[in-house]
Amino acid sequence: MIQSIMKSRLLWPIVILILILLINLFFDSNFFSVEVRNGHLTGSLIDILNRGAPLILISIGMTLVIATKGIDLSVGSVIAMAGAIGSMSIAGSEGAGLAPIFIAIGLTLLICTLVGGWNGLLVSRIGVQPIVATLILMVAGRGIAQLITGGQITTVYYEPYSFIGGGYLFTLPFSVFIVAAVLILAVVLTRKTALGLFIESVGSNPNASRLAGINSKNIMLMVYMFSGFCAGVGGLILSSNVMSADGNNAGLWFELDAILAVVIGGTSLMGGRFYLIGTVIGALIIQSLTTTIYSIGVPAETNLVVKAVVVLIVCLLQSPEFRKRVFGIGKVKRKGEQKAREGVTLP
Amino acid sequence: MINRLSLDYKQLPLIATISLFVLMFSFGSVRYTGFFSAQVFLNLFIDNAFLIVIAVGMTFVIISGGIDLSVGSVIALTSMVAASLTMSAQWSPFIVIPISLLIGTVLGLVQGSLIHFYNLQPFIVTLAGMFLARGLSYVISVETIAIDHPFFSYMASTRIPLPGDTFISISVIIALIIVAIAVFIGHSTKFGRTVYAIGGSEQSAMLMGLPVGKTKVLIYTFSGFCASLAGLIFTFYMLSGYGLHANGMELDTIAAVVIGGTLLTGGAGYVAGSVVGVLILGVIQTIIVFEGTLSSWWTKIAIGVLLLLFIVLQRVIVLRSEKKQGNQ
């Protein structure tokens, strides 16, 4: 029992998350209290969930992309584009009923999924490296977002739009339900069907999986489309929170936070394995870290420094070379490593 | 036969880059009055001297098959340190400049060591370096620190006259010296050959007995040094330190290197190509300025489109040469 807990990949992320939350308890004894106010659940924990929603969504998409040994650098720009499309398509529809919002959501998600598909086409059909293929959209996407909004911060005066990011349903923030829906969709599709296995197989060796009869090109195309879709949903939430679209700053650094969340969650950047729940915990760690930094009165500017240190620690802990040098590691692991090394030296 | 093929495969992107630059410059000259002048051409160097310097460092990194995402943040950090030491601590520039140059160099050394000794991915290590450098520059101050010091003003405003009533700045001279050194290192030293070998295949380089580890650490150290030097040039250019300086510059740099004909998979590329890549980005901006009605976001879209064209071109070339080699 204890051994299986110790072996779980989720152990360390959960421990870190709990530690960060406990640190908050020292500074605010009410940190864990959750109460109902105006029919809404309020409290720091709910706040972390609510504010972390876009990051969790985007990280879920990123997890599947990274599982295929890819990476999606364009998510930050897609967030900006989603906000721009969403806001522009309903700008000036005050008091026009509910139809505009459905059109806006539909249009945004469709375009973002197609944009993800564009990345997927470059990676799977033309064979461009993922970093490079998505770099194009990362550079150009922000330009396109500014093009759509005319380079200005466009404010939306249409009430229903605020519900996406700021609304409440059954006392919980609506964004939590969106996250839950996307997460359940991803978990069911990848863990209850063979799709997850296909993704992991493409991540460990695309050629071998093609020979085994898996359409690796379409699998890749699909994960990038899903990542674009997730970034679209996240962008709608972010833009709805502030009721405006900012082509320049919306979603800035999100790709980095998302990659960080995935890596903290135990998914290796080498592809071939992925842990969706780990990613969610990783994203929550990042969000709690941000909240903690704000709440304990450390200057907000140190946020980036702390994140950098966390990335390095997590990566070093994941590195076999580091673990060997620092901890020495027992017999069992050495055997495994030796085997791995023998496999590598024979080309 | 193979020799001729590999020649094509390496040089075609570079030829395309140079033709594109000539084409774009001619387009500007035909369309706008006052565009076709030596000074407009030299301004490309003056306005992009810092970009040339980082692109030089990045070229080595990319040829070796790696990537350095920290360069933009290192520029911000260098500008911040230089500004705060000069203005708040009132130190002499002769102490401030070596310290500023050391920042990026040390960060590059640390990044290179982490990448080599612990076998971490360059992408993620330099990502952390990016966070770290930007965070540290905010820790120094969140406000802009304007620099009002005779030495910095001198570096910023000195015009070196050239024949034909044109001029360049001191920064351009520094950038060109770095380019000359890098071209020499890349093509005439053992270090340079090792960089290309690592990019071709790290395992083969290791089996050939080349000092892979030492070279990799040095590549990132050199890139860090270039980023710091670019940071200083940027500080001369802006005469201020600010945590948001050069936001997203790493991507402009990568774009310049790729447009300059360096393969992102490593193993092939030219420092001189990256300089032309920077000039192309500069021409796009100049055209947008001359057009007047176009807004700055068109720069981003244009860079994206060019990046796409060159990447697809690279893929086609690589695929064709692979196919031909397969047929032999």
CA–CA separation, A179 and A52 (whole Å): 10
Q: Which two tokens stand for residue B111?
A: 């990044």
Q: Is residue A8 part of a domain?
A: no
- Whether A309 maps to a domain, the answer reads no
The answer to whether A340 faces chain B, any CB pair under 8 Å, is no
Q: List CB contacts (< 8 A) between B300 and chain A.
A: 139-140, 142-143, 146
* A4 domain residue, yes or no: no
Say whether pLDDT at A278 is over 50.
yes
Alpha helices in chain A (DSSP H): 2-7, 11-27, 44-67, 75-90, 99-121, 130-149, 162-166, 174-187, 195-204, 206-211, 216-242, 254-264, 276-295, 302-318, 320-327, 331-345
Q: Is residue A336 part of a domain?
A: no
pLDDT at A340: 46
Of the listed ranges A146-160, A230-244, B143-157, the least confidently predicted one is A146-160
Residues of B in contact with A138 (CB under 8 A): 251
R_g (Cα) of chain B, nearest Å: 20
* The predicted structure's pLDDT at residue B230: 93
Distance from CA of A5 to the nearest CA of B (A): 27
Residues of B with CB below 8 A from A140's CB? 300-301, 303-305, 307
Closest C-alpha to B171, from B49, B71, B74, B79: B49
* Total domains in the fold of chain A: 1
**Confidence band for A343, pLDDT divided at 50, 70 and 90:** very low
Interface check for A147 against chain B (CB to CB < 8 A): the answer is yes
Answer whether residue A37 is part of any domain. Answer: no
* Per-residue model confidence as pLDDT tens digits over A63-92: 999 888 888 888 988 998 988 888 888 876
pLDDT of residue A5: 59
CB-based contact A304 B304, cutoff 8 Å: no
Average pLDDT value for chain A: 79
Quote the pTM value. Answer: 0.81
Domain encompassing residue A228: 44-251+266-276
pLDDT in tens, A98-109: 777 788 888 889
The alpha carbon of residue B251 is apart from the nearest alpha carbon of chain A, in Å, by 7
- Compute the count of residue pairs across chains A and B with CB atoms less than 8 Å apart: 128
Are A151 and B295 in contact (CB < 8 Å)? yes
Check residue B2 and give its pLDDT.
46
**A129 CA to chain B: closest CA distance, Å?**
8
Residues of A in contact with B131 (CB under 8 A): 256, 304-305, 307-308, 311
CB contact under 8 A, A312 and B121: no
Q: Which CATH number applies to B2-327: 3.10.450, 1.10.3470, 1.10.1760, 1.20.1300?
A: 1.10.3470
Confidence category of residue A342, pLDDT binned at 50, 70, 90? very low
pLDDT tens digit sequence for A297-325: 777 777 788 878 877 887 787 677 777 77
A 10 A CB-CB count for B252 gives: 23
Percent of chain A with pLDDT strictly greater than 90: 9
Q: What's the length of chain B?
A: 328
Nearest chain B Cα distance for residue A194, angstroms = 30
> Does A306 sit within 8 Å of B308, measured CB to CB?
no
Low-confidence ranges of chain B (pLDDT < 70): 1-10, 322, 324-328
A:86-125 residues touching chain B, CB 8 A cutoff:
122
Q: Does the beta carbon of A66 lie under 8 angstroms from any beta carbon of chain B?
A: no
CA distance B258 to chain A (A): 9
The per-residue pLDDT for A151 is 73
Q: Do the Cβ atoms of A316 and B120 come within 8 Å?
A: yes
Q: Tell me, what's the pLDDT at A296?
A: 74
Question: pLDDT tens-digit profile of A44-64?
Answer: 777 888 888 899 999 999 999
Residue type at position B66:
G
What backbone phi and psi angles, to 5 degrees, belong to A37? Answer: -130, 125
Domain-embedded: residue A54: yes
Distance from C-alpha of B73 to C-alpha of A12, rounded to nearest angstrom: 30
Q: Tell me how far apart the alpha carbons of residues A216 and A208 are, in angstroms, rounded to a whole number.
A: 9
Residue written as token pair 């040039």: B233
CB contact at 8 A, B116 and A321: no
Task: Tell me whether A25 touches chain B (CB under 8 Å).
Answer: no
Residue A241 domain-assigned (yes or no): yes
Confirm whether A183 is domain-assigned.
yes
pLDDT tens per residue across span A2-54: 666 556 667 777 877 888 888 777 777 777 777 777 767 777 777 888 888 89
Neighbours of B318 (CB within 10 A): 15
Q: Where are the domains of chain B?
A: 2-327
Please state, in angstroms and rounded to a whole number, the distance separating the CA atoms of residues B192 and B195.
Answer: 5
